[in-house]
Amino acid sequence: MQDLTPLEIQKQTFSRAIKGYNHDEVRAYLHLVAEEIERLLRENDRLSREAAMLREDLEDHSNRERILKDTLLSAQKVAEDLTANARKEAELIVKDAELLSERVIGQAMQRVGDLERSITDLKIERRAVRNKLQITLDAVQQMVVMDAEQEANEEPLTALFRARNA
């Protein structure tokens, strides 16, 4: 059966036969059928346009969903990469801090050793100075004692003069 248009239905003619159908009734019925087909064609056209729009909307939504999924996956990957990089960087910072603290502690321990050696050297030098001072004091004490003895044994100048003249 070929596609009928409402106009074809309205223009359709039939041959006349004896005892046939009432011509006006057939015409009115064909007119009704043509109007119904026209309405159905318009409805079909409207539904086809609506279906096409819905297919476009569905395709747009599917594309957006795909883009959103891709974006979410990319964002998740970036977040994971950032987290991994931050974790690695934090580990490096901690290792650097540990190495620095070990170096600082080593330098401090070396400085403490140097200071202890300096203190020991200063104590030895202090003992040596104290011993020299003691020796000097002892020598001065002996000189004072000898001077006192000599003074006690000295005769006045007049006695020396008399002993020389005599």
Per-residue model confidence (pLDDT) at position 20 = 76
Q: Is there a contact between 34 and 7 (Cβ–Cβ < 8 Å)?
A: yes
Q: Mind listing the pLDDT tens digit for each residue in 84-115? A: 999 999 999 999 999 999 999 999 999 999 99
The structure tokens listed for 95 are 């290792």
Per-residue model confidence (pLDDT) at position 83 = 97
Q: Residue 38, class by beta-carbon neighbours within 10 Å (0-12 exposed, 13-18 middle, 19+ buried)?
A: middle
Quick count: other Cβ atoms within 10 Å of Cβ 44? 11
